Amino acid sequence: MAISRPTVAQLRAFLALAENLHFRDAAAALRMSQPALSGAVAALEETLDTRLVERTTRKVLLTPAGERVARRAEVVLAELERLVDEVKAVRGPLVGPLRVGVIPTVAPYLLPIVLPRLAKEFPELELSVHEEQTEHLVTELLAGRLDVVLLALPVPAAGVTEIPLYDEDFVLVAPAGFDLGGAEIPREVLNNLDVLLLNQGHCLRDQALEVCRDVGARAAAATYATSLATLVQLVSGGLGVTLVPETALPVETRRAPNLGLHRFAAPAPFRRIGLGFRSTCPRVEEFQTLAESVRVAVADSGVAPGIRAVRT
């Protein structure tokens, strides 16, 4: 008599449920329907002949057996991802599926520059792109649902190896007519201005706050936005000023009238953009190839003067 074994799909569904403790959230994390996820978990319980979860009206609780299975499932799926990565590593650079995560303050400005080059250089690459904020991207990366992430460094998590790509200066965007004096301004001018920020969760918000704190300036407390596009429109409307990375300037300033761009005197505040991947992943050489392709694409685009490639 054949012994029934759990399937990979069942283990993925159950581990997502164990991480989220909610069927709807777990289904959303796996991009599958809630009935399909419930069916997979029920099938796993039937296969193992034991209850793994307690279903309440508000949330899900793991049984003692469920907690054990969750720990084991995490190890099994991590090893499975490692096996797949090792096979990909010996097939050649950037061949087959590659799941890339990108933060919102990079994706709309860098992808139009990079994607055509990748398509030309690596025609066998099957790229899928997911845009999310940093915390979610890192969670998905460490869970094995993304292969590599493109974000601001440093990565706020252990177990992620970084490859720096480029540094880009921040530029002060102000309403037209603001007299800030000189072609290049000192950071201290921020002390007399209302600096508008992105909502919490965006790493660019934290970077802008750090620039303000360095000179003792305060950001405006009443006005926040969910995107750089909205921030620049608010500045155009006279509500304050904001800090915009160089790569975003050509796109966002084209959409808004009545703006003045002011670059900082050296050393200008900047952020570092790079790739992050699981430190256990064997595809290091492949990601280094990807990193160099991105650097060259940015350099060839001539997108902005305040961008410097970083190689380690």
Each residue's pLDDT tens digit, 239-268: 888 999 999 988 888 878 889 889 999 888
pLDDT in tens, 214-230: 877 777 666 678 889 99
DSSP-based three-state secondary structure for 211:
helix
Residue 246 token pair: 């160089």
Contact partners, residue 230, CB within 8 Å, separation at least 6: none
pLDDT in tens, 106-133: 999 999 999 999 999 999 899 999 999 9
Measure the CA–CA gap between 3 and 26, rounded to whole angstroms.
28
**Would the pTM count as exceeding 0.75?**
no
Asked if residue 297 has pLDDT above 80, the reply is: yes
- Please say whether the beta carbons of 276 and 155 come within 8 A: yes
Asked if residue 1 has pLDDT above 60, the reply is: no
- Please say whether the beta carbons of 46 and 40 come within 8 A: no
- Residues 272, 276, 282, 283, CA torsion sign: negative
pLDDT band at 304 (very low <50, low <70, confident <90, very high): low
